[in-house]
Structure 1
Amino acid sequence: MIEESSLRNAESLIRFGTEKLSSISDVPRLEAEVLLSNLLKINPIKFHTEDIGISPNVMDKFESMIESRFKGIPIAYLIGKKEFWSLSFEINSSVLVPRPETELLIENAIELLKDQESPKILELGTGSGIVSIVLHKELLSPEITATDISSEALYVAKNNAHKYRITDINFLVSDWFSEFKNEKYDLIISNPPYVDKTKLSNEELFSIGMEPDIALYSENDGTSDLEFIIRNSSMFLEHGGWLMLEHGYDQADYCMREMRTAGYSKIKKSKDIQDIPRTISGTFLNE
């Protein structure tokens, strides 16, 4: 418990939170400010310009949030949202917390389809819906189907689409291609599970341990789902259609070999903001 008498303003409370989180976060003060500003519904900049009083009720809630964060619960789950592509998305424990690396996947898709009218897109494993929603906003009248094996994840995705008044994304429960037969798409895009849990350090396990296993981990050194998508996607692509995937930091060469074996051409690797290979794309020409 924290002593109420010593924490009568925001700065004191933030210092308490910063000290508590310093052993589990690289940016403990920032996280403390985000949590408290969310509770107070104010811009965090006010913590640096004003002396803000704190009620006992807010103090109790903040202490609980700090304790939850200390146990490994992501900030996005605690405040129920995450910014991505300069948009705010609803996030809960049914879905992964969006990472900035995934913006590269979207950038590549936009560059590929920016001049195409009404491209048909299939997103596999949509989670919170961020990829499909951003593509819907950025492209010319795309026809998007977004799938996930988790109905709870799709509920979040639908809420996010509704927030941005998007009503024409087809959200569908499907285990990869299980619900598809003869459909053809110009682009199949996915950020599938690709983490090998056995290779993670304790620190890495702590940082993602509260997120859904089904969206993170894959068998065979993290490649099982990537392999399945690569080997089965071509039958659902139009002639000259594209497959675009996000993958792990050490999986680019593996994905390239698999795509070549599956008959893809014009295969291209892209690096993220940390100069790490993060996405791969290729086109399939039906013979």
Structure 2
Amino acid sequence: MSNTPTLATLRRTLATRLAPISDSPDLEARRLLEIFTGLNGSRLIIEADRPLEPEMIERVETAVARRLTGEPLAYIVGRIGFHDIELEVTPAVLVPRPDTETLVEAALARLPADTALRVADLGTGSGAIALALAHARPRWRLVATDADPNALAVARGNAERLALTTVSFAHGCWLEPLAGERFDAIVSNPPYIDADDSHLDAPALRHEPYHALVADTDGLGDIQRIATAATNHLEPGAPLLVEHGYTQGPAVRRLFAAAGLTRIETEADLGGHPRVTIGYR
């Protein structure tokens, strides 16, 4: 009998090895095998007894070794699903999280689908928010900004690969490259972690760009700057939607009110944590 690992045995082994570093080790094991074999989830089951070539096993082992250092799986495989699209990601950008889909859904729920709106996405990173909105709302026109040219290169590449031509990009911090422009909505997932927050010691965060995670003033500095500037760039009655930490809701609502925004509310993410605050000009 051959001792060559099959898809099924390797998947079980991977899940066991990934358990100390992952909240969903079996899903990560499946994802690695999907990427390296080119098979989808159902084919992995159908071909579970298929023996694997040594070269394939070596490639998977290299990926697992990287993952066990805490490196995000998305960086290792170079892509991740977000909302209804798949994005390419590099260490130049944050890995898009499911929590950020709350921001996308909040915007989709509050804005008319069939109107040619102008929407700005500030600090776009991989382009996740802007591209998810463009995919869901083909009539909208989006402009996405980022201060990091390397992040913008990733976002532009994703837009081209997804053929989402309704998104344009501008290099600069927050609204600075959009002087004189007004929008029907502004969305942002800015840095909101305080520099002293112990969460920064998490293995995954050590691999992600620090400047995209950490903000001054107890993690609220960038949110304050965005809220203050947004009132000069929003059409009357238009919303600002910002993602933030789950303990920051009250402080963000105060910042929105101080900036002159009204009808302020906070929405919870899929885990029930306050995650997105919305205010209107």
Please report how far the alpha carbon of residue 94 of structure 1 lies from its aligned counterpart in structure 2 after TM superposition. Answer: 1.2
Which residue number in structure 2 is paired with residue 81 of structure 1?
A: 79
Alignment equivalent of 1:268, drawn from 262, 265, 270: 265
For these two proteins, the number of residue pairs brought into alignment is 279
When structure 1 is superposed on structure 2, of 244-253 and 106-115 the one drifting more is 106-115
Q: Distance in 2 between matches of 1:130 and 1:201?
A: 23
Give the TM-score normalised by structure 2. 0.93
- Say if 1:114 and 1:139, in contact at 8 Å, map to a contact too: no
When structure 1 is superposed on structure 2, of 174-183 and 270-279 the one drifting more is 174-183
5+ long unaligned stretches in structure 2: none
Which residue number in structure 2 is paired with residue 66 of structure 1?
A: 64
Q: Does residue 144 in structure 1 map to residue 169 in structure 2?
A: no
Letter in 1 for 2:177: E
- Say if 2:100 and 2:243, in contact at 8 Å, map to a contact too: yes
**1:3-18 equivalent positions in 2, closer than 5 A:** 6-18=3-15
TM-superposition CA deviations, 1:107-132 (whole Å, max 9, x none): 11112212562111111011111211
When structure 1 is superposed on structure 2, of 62-71 and 101-110 the one drifting more is 101-110
Q: Distance in 2 between matches of 1:66 and 1:96?
A: 20
Q: Distance in 2 between matches of 1:55 and 1:119?
A: 52
Q: Distance in 2 between matches of 1:146 and 1:92?
A: 18
TM-superposition CA deviations, 1:33-72 (whole Å, max 9, x none): 2112210100233343331111111111111000000011
Distance 1:152 1:114, change over 3 A: same
When structure 1 is superposed on structure 2, of 244-253 and 130-139 the one drifting more is 130-139
**Aligned to 1:193, what secondary structure does the other structure show?**
coil
- Say if 1:266 and 1:283, in contact at 8 Å, map to a contact too: yes
The percent of aligned pairs where both chains have the same amino acid is: 33
**1:237-276 equivalent positions in 2, closer than 5 A:** 237-276=234-273
Please report how far the alpha carbon of residue 139 of structure 1 lies from its aligned counterpart in structure 2 after TM superposition. Answer: 2.6
Instruction: Say what the alpha-carbon RMSD is for the aligned residues.
Output: 1.8
Which residue number in structure 2 is paired with residue 102 of structure 1?
A: 100
Distance 1:145 1:14, change over 3 A: same
**Aligned to 1:89, what secondary structure does the other structure show?**
strand
Please report how far the alpha carbon of residue 83 of structure 1 lies from its aligned counterpart in structure 2 after TM superposition. Answer: 0.9
Give the TM-score normalised by structure 1. 0.91
- Say if 2:138 and 2:166, in contact at 8 Å, map to a contact too: no
Q: Distance in 2 between matches of 1:135 and 1:47?
A: 32
Letter in 1 for 2:97: R
